């Protein structure tokens, strides 16, 4: 079943083009054939109607009359051989009838119905003639009616001469014209179908070549597709595919880096934990002290695992569309409330000043960004120190500032500030907090800066400043 669907999809473009082109052309051929047959039959009638008129005039030349007008008596002697000269071939047959104006039979075939029509206002010939279709016996016939004035030294009158011809010859000729035309049009359809197949085959050759190249690639090869020689119409597809493969390559690299870094960083605390447990089992130190050391190691491993997962979640949320417009001030206040026990534990003089400002982001990302910056600031602020959080709005940006009264950033750490696992406080930090902040800020299209705050040549603390794009419409999608 899957193979059949694949084959159907493989030929669908060719089939759709054939149907899309041949069906309208075929319908046009049918309509044209009907019209052509009607026009051909009309043209043949026009041509052969001249023969019927000539036959009627020939009969009119044989008429004699005695008496005048209503009292006139018509006589005619027309041998059938006289009509043979007007027969085109042996397929059709001619019949005639000569009558007076009131329908009285004079000569000919009495079974031929008498004409009851009228002469057109503008007859096609310079004679009082009318042409019409009728049935004689079981045969369809074409009839010419000629009103022929007859005059002699013995009288004057008007004769109605009808000449009928069966339609075999006319129908055969019209069909021959139609069949000849249909053969040519069928040949045209076959040429169109062949051209469509050949053109589709050639047009899809670059697609098949790219498909073969992709299938021949080794597993995990997400390098850029070479679009050299590809048609212009195919370039958007190649570019979009390259973009998708680039994103996949980026995700794969992040996944590999995450696995590598996680394995490397978790190996150390787990090894330390194993040594501490073995030492406690041997009784090398007091049980209370051993449990305290084990608890500290577990806390550090837990923090490391949580931050590694947070770093991976940032990349996951980066790929998700349609973030909401979130008020950064509300997020900052909530994070400060969550960390208030840590602030109170160090007796920090804490202040928060917020101005509403919305950012297009996932709320978790803003919360994680603020939590990491504030947690670092609390950790590096001495007991009894000061710590201030501010959110302000500029013309196009929202500013988040976290200012502490700690020792600032050492010069040797400044060059590798945002690198993962570059912790300033090695015993108590994992070095992932600022890396997470940088990933979040870059994902939101903003910027981050950490600067020492100086006074009289001395470092008085650290200012962490984040700039994020402001959502101008305050009523859009936020909560």
321-469 adopts what CATH topology?
Heat Shock Protein 90 (3.30.565)
Domain with CATH 1.10.287 in the chain: 245-319
Question: Which pair of tokens denotes residue 93?
Answer: 């047959």
Query: Which tokens go with 39?
Result: 């026009």
Q: Tell me the sheet residues that pair with 401.
A: 390, 465
| pLDDT at residue 124, rounded to an integer | 74
pTM recorded for the entire structure: 0.47
Q: Tell me if the domain spanning 2-175 has CATH number 3.40.630.
A: no
Q: Are 173 and 44 in contact (CB under 8 A)?
A: yes
Please state the separation of Cα 69 from the chain's center in Å.
Answer: 83
Classified as helix, coil or strand, 283 is: coil
CB-based contact 403:364 (threshold 8 Å): no
Question: What are 253-258's contacts with CB under 8 Å, separation 24+?
Answer: 254/312, 254/315, 258/308, 258/311, 258/312
Residue 479 is predicted with a pLDDT of: 39
Determine how many CB atoms are found less than 10 A away from the CB of residue 264: 10
Q: What pLDDT shows up at residue 176?
A: 86
Numbered ranges of CATH 3.30.450 in the chain: 2-175
Q: How far apart are CA 42 and CA 45, in angstroms?
A: 5
How does DSSP classify residue 158? Answer: E
User: What class is the 245-319 domain?
Assistant: mainly alpha
Where exactly does CATH 3.30.565.10 map onto the chain?
321-469
145 with 132: CB under 8 angstroms?
yes
Provide the H-helix boundaries in 204-282.
Answer: 205-216, 235-282
The structure tokens 């493969």 sit at: 245
Per-residue tokens: 390: 């501010």
The one-digit pLDDT tens for each residue of the chain (479 residues) are: 555 555 445 556 677 777 888 888 888 888 888 888 888 888 888 888 888 888 888 888 888 888 887 777 888 776 655 566 555 556 678 888 888 888 888 888 888 899 988 888 777 777 788 999 898 888 889 999 999 888 887 888 888 999 998 888 888 888 888 888 888 888 888 888 888 888 877 877 777 777 777 788 787 777 777 767 677 777 787 788 888 887 777 777 766 766 666 665 566 667 777 777 887 787 777 778 778 877 877 776 776 666 666 666 666 666 666 578 889 999 999 999 988 988 998 999 999 999 999 998 888 888 888 888 898 899 889 999 999 999 999 888 999 999 998 888 877 676 566 565 555 444 444 456 677 788 888 888 888 888 888 887 788 889 989 999 988 754 444 43
CB 4 within 8 A of CB 175: no
């Amino acid at each position: 079943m899957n193979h059949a669907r694949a084959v159907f999809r493989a030929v669908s473009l060719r089939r759709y083009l054939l149907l899309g082109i041949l069906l309208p052309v075929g319908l046009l051929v049918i309509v044209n054939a009907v019209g052509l047959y009607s026009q051909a039959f009309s043209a043949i009638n026009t041509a052969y109607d001249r023969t019927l008129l000539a036959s009627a005039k020939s009969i009119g030349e044989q008429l004699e009359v005695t008496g005048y007008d209503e009292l006139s008596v018509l006589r005619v002697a027309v041998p059938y051989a006289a009509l043979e000269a007007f027969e085109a071939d042996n397929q059709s047959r001619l019949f005639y009838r000569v009558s007076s104006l009131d329908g009285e039979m004079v000569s000919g075939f009495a079974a031929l119905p008498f004409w009851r029509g009228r002469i057109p206002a503008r007859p096609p010939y310079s004679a009082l003639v009318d042409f019409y279709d009728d049935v004689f016996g079981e045969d369809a016939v074409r009839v010419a009616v000629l009103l022929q004035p007859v005059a002699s030294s013995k009288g004057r009158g008007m004769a109605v001469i009808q000449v009928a011809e069966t339609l075999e010859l006319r129908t055969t000729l019209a069909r021959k014209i139609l069949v000849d035309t249909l053969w040519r049009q069928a040949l045209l359809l076959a040429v169109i179908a062949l051209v469509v197949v050949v053109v589709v085959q050639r047009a899809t050759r670059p697609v098949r070549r790219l498909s073969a190249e992709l299938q021949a690639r080794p597993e995990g090869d997400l390098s850029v597709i070479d679009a050299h020689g590809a048609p212009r119409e195919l370039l958007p597809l190649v570019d979009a595919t390259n973009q998708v493969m680039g994103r996949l390559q980026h995700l794969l690299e992040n996944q590999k880096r995450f696995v590598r870094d996680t394995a490397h960083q978790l190996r150390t605390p787990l090894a330390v934990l194993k040594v501490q447990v073995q030492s406690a089992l041997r009784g090398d130190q007091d049980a209370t002290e051993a449990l305290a050391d084990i608890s500290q190691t577990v806390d550090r491993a837990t923090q490391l695992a949580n931050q590694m997962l947070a770093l991976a979640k940032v990349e996951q949320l980066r790929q998700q569309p349609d973030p909401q417009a979130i008020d950064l001030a509300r997020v900052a206040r909530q994070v400060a409330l969550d960390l208030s026990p840590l602030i109170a534990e160090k007796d920090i003089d804490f202040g928060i000043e917020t101005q509403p400002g919305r950012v297009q982001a996932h709320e978790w990302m803003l919360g994680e960004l603020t939590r990491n910056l504030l947690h670092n600031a609390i950790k590096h602020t001495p007991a009894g120190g000061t710590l201030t959080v501010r959110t302000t709005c500029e013309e196009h940006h929202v500013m988040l500032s976290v200012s502490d009264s700690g020792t600032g950033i050492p010069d040797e750490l400044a060059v590798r500030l945002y690198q993962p696992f570059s912790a300033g406080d090695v015993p108590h930090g994992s070095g992932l907090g600022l890396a997470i902040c940088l990933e979040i800020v870059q994902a939101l299209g903003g910027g981050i800066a950490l600067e020492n705050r100086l006074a009289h040549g001395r470092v008085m603390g650290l200012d962490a400043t984040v700039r994020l794009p402001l959502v101008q419409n305050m009523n859009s999608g936020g909560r």
